[in-house]
Amino acid sequence: MADLNKNPQAKSSSGSEIKAANPFKAWFPLIAIIVCFIFAEWVFYSPSGFSAPENFEGGVEAYDAYQAWVAGGENGEEPPHWTDGHPVSEGVEGTYGIVRKGGFVIPIGMTLFLILLVFTIERFITIVRAGGRGNKDVFVKKVRRLLSSGDVDGAVAECDKQKGSIGNVIKAGLRKYKEMVAEPSMAKDAKKVAIQAEIEEATMLELPMLERNLSILATVASLGTLVGLIGTVLGMIRAFSALGAGGAPNAAELSVGISEALVNTAMGITTSALAILSYNFFTTRIDGMTYSMDEAGYSIVQTFDVRN
C-alpha cells in the first residue's frame, strides 16, 4: 500500500493505472468533524446565534444594559440577567431560545447533526459519481448485448463513456478478456479463472472508495441517541433538584430542567433516525452497484466460455 501511495503511476495486475492516494481524503473526516464542532459551539453561544438577546424575555433590554455597562468602563454592578456575554433570563421566546435552554450538551448534539449533514452530502456526491454518467442498468444491458455479438471493443468504448466504478470494473474484465483471447498457452478453464479474478480484484479496489466514511454515519446513529439520553438525564436531575429544594418548588428551575431534557431528547432521536436512514440508503445503493458489477462480470466469463 505504501508503494501505491508514493507512486502516482502504480498499476494493477491488469496493467491499468491506479491513481495515487489523495492525502486530503485521509484528513477530510477529522477536519470536517473539528469544523462542525467549532461551528456548533459558535452558533449556540454567540449573541448572533441561539444566544441572541431577542430569543429571551427581556433579553434585548438586558443586553443593551450590559453593553452600556461595558461602554461605561464596567463601573458598578453588572446588569441583571446577563453574565459573561450570555443571557441568563429564565423566560424564552421562540424555538431558538428553547434550544438555548437545552444546556451544554446541545452543541454536542448539533455537532453530530452537522457531521451527519456533511457526510451525507459527501457520500451522495461520491456514490452518484461512482455510478457513472448514465443509468447503470441500461449500461450493463448494453455491454451484455455487445459481448453477445462479439463486439468487445464496442463494450470497452461504452465503459469509457459510462466511467464510474461500474465502468472501471467492467473495463478491467474486458481488457483481461481480450488478453486471454490472445493467450495461446493457457487452458480455457485457467483463462476463465483469470478473467474472474481480475474482475474481483477491480471490484475490491473500488469498494473501499464507495464505503469510505460510512462508519462515521453508523457511529453518529449510535451516538445521537446516547448524547440525547445524557442531556435528558442531566435535565431531569435539574428538574428534580428544583422539586427537592427546601420551601416551595421553583417553577422556573423546574421548567428549565424539563426543557433541557426534552430538547436533548428530540435532537438525539432526530439525529439518530436520520443517520440510520442515510446509512441504510447508501449501503443499499452500494449493494446495487456491486450486484451490477457481479452481473456484468458473470456475463463476461460466460461469453468467453461460449465463444472460445
Residue 176 lies in a domain: yes
Residue 13 lies in a domain: no
For the chain, list the strands marked E by DSSP: 82-83, 86-87
Name the maximum alpha-carbon separation found in the chain: 97
More confident residue, 260 or 146: 146
Quote the domain boundaries for residue 36: 20-100
Same domain, 27 and 84: yes
pLDDT surpasses 80 at 179: yes
In angstroms, the CA 102 to CA 98 distance is: 7
Same domain, 56 and 133: no
Count up the domains in the chain and report the number.
2
Residue 115 lies in a domain: yes
- Angle at alpha carbon of residue 1, lines to 167 and 177, rounded to 5°: 35
pLDDT tens digits for 208-224? 888 889 999 999 999 99
- pLDDT above 90 as % of the chain: 24
Given 100, 119, 135, the domain boundary residue is: 100
Structure pTM? 0.79
pLDDT band at 226 (very low <50, low <70, confident <90, very high): very high
Per DSSP, the residues of 36-69 read HHHHHHHHHHSTTTTT-GGGBTTHHHHHHHHHHH
In angstroms, the CA 266 to CA 299 distance is: 50
pLDDT tens digits for 24-82? 777 889 999 999 999 999 988 887 888 777 777 666 777 777 777 767 666 666 655 55
In angstroms, the CA 214 to CA 122 distance is: 10
Given 80, 100, 120, the domain boundary residue is: 100
Question: What pLDDT score was predicted for residue 244?
Answer: 67
pLDDT band at 227 (very low <50, low <70, confident <90, very high): very high
Same domain, 47 and 127: no
Same domain, 95 and 164: no
> Range with the lowest mean pLDDT among 4-8, 156-160, 209-213, 272-276?
4-8
Instruction: State which amino acid sits at residue 285.
Output: R
- SS3 state at 87: strand
> Range with the lowest mean pLDDT among 12-21, 93-102, 116-125, 211-220?
12-21
As a whole number, mean pLDDT of residues 102-130 equals 92
Q: Name the burial class of residue 71, with classes exposed (0-12), middle (13-18) and buried (19+) by CB atoms within 10 angstroms of its CB.
A: exposed
Mean pLDDT of the chain: 80
As a whole number, mean pLDDT of residues 267-295 equals 92
pLDDT surpasses 70 at 253: no
CB 101 within 8 A of CB 256: yes
> Range with the lowest mean pLDDT among 31-40, 81-90, 191-200, 271-280?
81-90
CB 293 within 8 A of CB 135: no
Instruction: Residue 243: name the closest of 256, 232, 230, 262 by CA.
Output: 256
Q: How far is CA 189 from CA 180, 192, 193, 259, in A?
A: 11, 5, 6, 70
